Structure 1
Amino acid sequence: MDYLQAFILAVIEGLTEFLPVSSTGHMVIASSFMGIGKNDFVKLFEVAIQLGAILAVVVLYWKKFFDFSKWQFYVKLIIAVIPALFFGYLLNDFIDETLGNPVFIAVVLLLGGIVLLFIDRFFNNQTIDKETDISNVNAFKIGCFQVLAVVFPGLSRSAATIIGGMQQKLTRHAAAEFSFFLAVPTMCAATGYKLLKGYHLLNTENIKLLLFGNLIAFIVAIIAIKSFIGFLSKHGFRIFGWYRIIIGVVLIALYYSGIEINVI
């Protein structure tokens, strides 16, 4: 992997991690076109640069994350992340198998896109607009929706948790923000686990690439998060649904045209 390839993957991570479009699907396509997807360090890189995206959330919402007097906020995040950690560990072999199946990822992208086309019609009586009004039960149920994204790569963690939030009567704005908050412990756990497993790959050059990738992902994620909140509040999910369908079709077309698809 060179710095241009690292830059491209980091931009994709920063743009797609918090949007309901599946960063996994985009990484599959990008690494396939660049011919680098089978490299072990690339697989580590694609997960580890999530740290940059995580930092973007913490910086943008620093008052929320560092107001230790409101301990209920941390309790909600802990409660919400438990289902994903439990089932992620329990179903690790199944998850690895589905990550190796580009057609499975493409189908999940397509189906998720169809759901997003109609999601605004499903939930049109939302009453919770602030994080402080989210109960521990609400948080746990949203965390259960996140499990779907862990088990089914291509679904999008962001899409699953936002839909879960709206199912719990959160407004689009509140659901998106809680999805961002929940990403921090979830992605920290996933990234930490991946780094522990792949620490032997961390030579000097690879560490430089990781630092560079995290910096780019951080900058792009800040822009993406700010833009997404405003766009979602005004326009809803429909455009993301069509976009997911297009990406799913592209991935299937690549696979059946004989082009080698490198999976994460």
Structure 2
Amino acid sequence: MDFIEILKAILFGIVEGITEWLPISSTGHMIILDELVKLNVSDAFREMFLVVIQLGAILAVVVLYFRKLWPFSTKEKFFIKKDTFGMWFKILAACIPAAIVGVFFDDKINELFYNYQTVAAMLIIFGVLFIVIENYNKGRKPVMNSIAEITWKAAIGVGLFQLIAAVFPGTSRSGATILGGILLGMSRTTAAEFTFFLAVPVMAGASLLKLVKFGLAFSASEAVILIVGMVVAFVVSIIVIKFLLNYIRRNDFKAFGWYRIVLGVLVILFFSL
């Protein structure tokens, strides 16, 4: 197998691990990277790879938050943590809108919106929204400062923001859900953590859907590329999630908003020229 392809897979894993959790659109970055660094694979494998590589990023959340995500006590036999089960029910409820759209309209959405115009527009629009909403929230106190305090109404509201990201590439799933959470009264840390947890069923479901459509008939080189990409995405995601949580304890999301606006303009210029 060509060593260059492994290096490309590493690069894709790094970009996925960074952009999946920062609210800057992993799809937007992946589209640009795919234009600049072409994997020597079939179109069908490339489409699948760009989604399934997210499994590495999901595993990072599971590892970092295992105690919060696992609904059974490890200290007592058959002890169920009711708060954790309640959290999972809210997560699953928030996932329903995006799951329905993903299952029934995935191919149509890709056909209509998976293009640089949509990506650039959503990068800029949500970049502006981050700046506007942070200014609007200045001085306002959040009413939900932990996952346990998230209401059903807020959880479903975040799910609707996630639906926007599911339909329009470039929105950023993490960006939309964090923005939605802040608007609905969550603290930045709570909105970020809820976004991480939401990613587990959403991204696992999307990856499974792509794997089923592609089939499991991987060549040896394709399997290596996929595994390398996921492992790198896992390692980078661990670092980025920790960085983001530390960052938002002292800073707002305006910097990400400005970054998105600049990136959106660069995407338009790059593809236009």
TMscore range, shorter length? over 0.9
Q: Is the 8 A contact 1:98 1:104 kept in 2?
A: no
Q: Which residue of 2 aligns with 1:205?
A: 221
| CA shift for structure 1 position 93 | 4.3
Structure 1 match to 2:180: 164
Contact 1:20 1:240 in 2 (8 A): yes
Q: Find 1:77's aligned residue among 87, 91, 97.
A: 91
Question: Among residues 53, 56, 76, which one is paired with 2:57 in the alignment?
Answer: 53
CA distance in 1, matches of 2:68, 2:22: 21
**Aligned counterpart for 2:121 among listed residues 107, 127, 145:** 107
Aligned counterpart, 1:260: none
Pairwise CA RMSD? 1.6
Instruction: Name the counterpart of 1:262.
Output: none
Residue number in structure 2 paired with 1:227: 243
Amino acid at match of 1:197: K
Give the CA deviation at 1:229: 1.0
Are residues 1:143 and 2:147 paired?
no
Who is 2:8 aligned against?
5
2:111 corresponds to: 97
Q: Which residue of 1 aligns with 2:134?
A: 120
- Give 1:6's aligned amino acid: A
Structure 1 residue runs without a partner (length 5+)? 258-264
Deviation at 1:201, TM superposition (A): 5.0
Q: Could you tell me how far apart the structure 1 residues matched to 2:268 and 2:191 are?
A: 31
Greater C-alpha Rg: 2
The equivalences for 1:30-69 within 5 A come to 30-36=33-39, 39-68=43-72, 69=81
Query: Are 1:166 and 1:175, in contact at CA under 8 Å, matched by a contact in 2?
Result: yes
CA distance in 1, matches of 2:101, 2:44: 25
1:173 positional shift: 0.6
Runs of 4+ deviating beyond 4 Å: none
Q: Distance in 2 between matches of 1:251 and 1:23?
A: 13
Seq. identity, %:
39
Q: Matched residues in 2 for 1:95 and 1:17: separation?
A: 20
| Count of aligned pairs | 257
TM-score (norm 1): 0.92
User: Are the counterparts in 2 of residues 149 and 155 from structure 1 also a CA contact under 8 Å?
Assistant: yes
Segment drifting more, 123-132 vs 38-47: 38-47
**Alignment partner of 1:190 is 2:193:** no
Give, as a single letter, the amino acid of the residue that structure 1 aligns with 2:46.
V
1:17-58 Cα distance to aligned partner (Å, 9 max, x none): 011100000001111111349732222111111000000001
Kindly provide the CA deviation profile for residues 223-244 of structure 1, in whole angstroms up to 9, marking residues without a partner as x.
0000001112211111101111
Residue type of the alignment partner of 1:248: G
The amino acid of 1:80's aligned partner reads: A
